[in-house]
Amino acid sequence: ETGVTQTPRHLVMGMTNKKSLKCEQHLGHNAMYWYKQSAKKPLELMFVYSLEERVENNSVPSRFSPECPNSSHLFLHLHTLQPEDSALYLCASSQALGGRGEQYFGPGTRLTVT
């Protein structure tokens, strides 16, 4: 257990559905991240929040919408996804931005878009 939880662990959705991924960290960290991990590709940083403010948006399609209501919770709202969006979505947190390279990852949500 890393102190970062994610729900659901698995999600299958159609291209017209709307769903949300949830992440919660119990570490008192100030920065939270969403990553996408696809087969044969490096971890792709999607969004970064520091003290509940978005500080990074790596040209992510608008069908992914993040929300950070407080420093412990992070959501990723999904709508009208494409099959190529099927991947493992990982949430992570760190003490501060950068955090001496030390991030704590949740177990991930395995997303399948049909």
Partner 1 sequence: GQSLEQPSEVTAVEGAIVQINCTYQTSGFYGLSWYQQHDGGAPTFLSYNALDGLEETGRFSSFLSRSDSYGYLLLQELQMKDSASYFCAVTDRDDKIIFGKGTRLHILP
User: Using CB under 8 A as the criterion, which residues of the chain lie in contact with partner 1 when the complex forms?
Assistant: 2, 40-43, 45, 48, 56, 90, 96-108
CB of 107 to partner 1, least distance (A): 5
Min dist CB 79 to partner 1, Å, is: 25
Least distance from partner 1 to the Cβ atom of residue 99, Å: 8
Q: Give yes or no for a cis peptide into 61 (omega within 30° of 0).
A: no
Largest CA distance in the chain: 40
Least distance in Å: CB of 114 to partner 1? 21
C-beta closer to partner 1: residue 57 or 114: 57
- Contacts with 9 (C-beta within 8 Å, 6 or more apart), sequence order: 107, 108, 109, 110
Beta bridge partners of 45: 35
Beta carbon nearer to partner 1, 9 or 18:
9
Is 113 in contact with 14 (CB distance < 8 Å)? yes
Is the Cβ of residue 52 or residue 56 nearer to partner 1 in the bound state?
A: 56
Nearer to partner 1, 7 or 15 (CB): 7
**For residues 21 and 36, is the Cβ–Cβ distance under 8 A?**
no
